[in-house]
Chains A and B, each alone.
Chain A
Amino acid sequence: MEEVPLLKALHTKYANQAVILGISIDTDLKRTDRTIKEKGMAWPVLADGKGFDGAIPKAYHIQGTPDIWVLDRAGKILARPGSAKQIDAILGEALAPRGPGDL
């Protein structure tokens, strides 16, 4: 959870350009709600209380947390950064001006 301050900074920096989506693997949803509040997560957080067996963690084959994925503008998997520190550079690239071919 030490990545939350970094995510907050990114959330501010890319306010209108990129989206952060949290998915909690907690099995206790009250705990999830408390953490969202305490940590001040201002981005949407999904949770179904089923832990790693929830439909989304299963579809993404999540085996441990944190696990970060970056999708491009088209919703394709762009990167799997090993740490939150790498997200900034990846987003910078994802947001680079589109080439003429993309117009």
Chain B
Amino acid sequence: MTLRALLLTAIVAAGLGEGRTLVAQTAQPAPITPVDEVRQTVAEARKEMDAHKTASGAPGAPDHPAVKWDAALWAYHDKYPRTDAAAIGAAEAVRALGRAELWDRAQARVAALDFEDPAWSRVAAVVYEQGIARKDLPSAIATLTRAAERTSDASIRSSVLLVLGRAHRRQGDAAEATRTLEAAKAAAQGTPVAEAADGLIYEIKYLSIGLPAPSISGKPRNARRAVTLESFRGTPIVIVFWGST
């Protein structure tokens, strides 16, 4: 018997000697999943970057903590390839670089993604966010359009098209947004992406700025007479949807 085996035997014996309750009480928690692992790193990264910001650390600096966290997060993309953990790692790495305003690095990360990489379904939203942050939606739209065109994976295409539809809408191009969202829907029948696309198509059609508001009528809980939007015509109306807390 080796020393190691002897030691193990001794530990096991000691454990048994102390009774089963102890074993039950100190039972190992379920092993953490890759997604949990990435999320933990994301939380740590956020904390440190928040602290950096509070300490008035400047963005754009090469010593920004985002550089370190980008590397740590992107590592999950290689460690758990083609999984949701990889997608979260990639998306959060790009997001971290964006927080530091290290746009070239962020763009390089996105450019390195293969068009068949499922990480696109999460990275697309970050590309859009950063397009807004940099006041350069057209370049985000170009990146997303290319990804949607090049990928052969219907699930990646639909997720990217959903984000692209939002981007077109934000650019004020309702017609292109609707076309894009219809394409997202067609590529993802019966999935949450199709449902989200459907919702946005409805919002563009019926709830855009400048359209007549959907009609409202009913008897208020706190007034005798029924109200309708028409009854207030000629007066601006503030509608507040709320819930008791």
Show the binding face of A for B, using Cβ within 8 Å: 1, 3, 7, 10, 17-26, 28-29, 31-36, 41, 44-48, 56-57, 59-62, 65-80, 84, 87, 91, 94-95
Q: Are A69 and B213 in contact (CB under 8 A)?
A: yes
B136-160: which residues lie under 8 A (CB-CB) from chain A? Answer: none
* B245 contacts across to A, CB distance below 8 A: 1
B200-218: which residues lie under 8 A (CB-CB) from chain A? Answer: 202-203, 206-216, 218
B216-245: which residues lie under 8 A (CB-CB) from chain A? Answer: 216, 218-223, 227, 229-230, 232-245
Show the binding face of B for A, using Cβ within 8 Å: 199, 202-203, 206-216, 218-223, 227, 229-230, 232-245
Partner pick for B233 among A17, A25, A73, CB 8 A cutoff: A73
Q: Are A75 and B230 in contact (CB under 8 A)?
A: yes
The verdict on A26 contacting B229 (CB below 8 Å), with A73-B235, A95-B236 known, is no
Q: Specify which of B208, B212, B221, B229 lies most central, judged by the most chain A CB atoms within 10 Å of its CB.
A: B221
Shortest Cβ gap from A97 to chain B (Å): 14
Beyond the given A17-B235, A25-B243, please list 4 additional residue pairs across the A-B interface where CB-CB is below 8 A: A44-B222, A71-B236, A71-B237, A91-B238
- How far does the alpha carbon of A19 sit from the alpha carbon of B240 in the complex, in Å? 11
Q: Are A46 and B218 in contact (CB under 8 A)?
A: yes
The verdict on A7 contacting B240 (CB below 8 Å), with A61-B207, A77-B208 known, is yes
Q: Are A18 and B221 in contact (CB under 8 A)?
A: no
Q: Are B238 and A68 in contact (CB under 8 A)?
A: yes
- How far does the alpha carbon of A21 sit from the alpha carbon of B223 in the complex, in Å? 12
10 residue pairs A–B, Cβ–Cβ below 8 Å: A18-B237, A25-B242, A36-B222, A41-B222, A46-B219, A56-B214, A61-B207, A71-B213, A77-B211, A80-B209
Q: Are B216 and A46 in contact (CB under 8 A)?
A: yes
- How far does the alpha carbon of A22 sit from the alpha carbon of B223 in the complex, in Å? 12
Chain A minimum-CB-distance residue to B214: A59
Say whether chain B's binding surface is mostly helix, strand, loop, or mixed: loop
Q: Specify which of B213, B227, B229 lies most central, judged by the most chain A CB atoms within 10 Å of its CB.
A: B213
Shortest Cβ gap from B198 to chain A (Å): 11
- How far does the alpha carbon of A73 sit from the alpha carbon of B238 in the complex, in Å? 11
Partner pick for B242 among A22, A29, A74, A91, CB 8 A cutoff: A22
Q: Are A19 and B237 in contact (CB under 8 A)?
A: yes
The verdict on A66 contacting B218 (CB below 8 Å), with A19-B235, A77-B209 known, is no
Chain A minimum-CB-distance residue to B231: A19
Partner pick for B207 among A7, A20, A73, A77, CB 8 A cutoff: A77
* B232 contacts across to A, CB distance below 8 A: 19, 21, 75
- How far does the alpha carbon of A67 sit from the alpha carbon of B244 in the complex, in Å? 13
- How far does the alpha carbon of A83 sit from the alpha carbon of B216 in the complex, in Å? 22
The verdict on A17 contacting B236 (CB below 8 Å), with A46-B218, A77-B209 known, is yes
- How far does the alpha carbon of A10 sit from the alpha carbon of B212 in the complex, in Å? 23
* A60 contacts across to B, CB distance below 8 A: 207, 213-214, 239, 241
Q: Are B241 and A47 in contact (CB under 8 A)?
A: no
- How far does the alpha carbon of A66 sit from the alpha carbon of B141 in the complex, in Å? 31
Partner pick for A24 among B202, B213, B243, CB 8 A cutoff: B243
The verdict on A19 contacting B238 (CB below 8 Å), with A61-B202, A76-B213, A77-B209 known, is yes
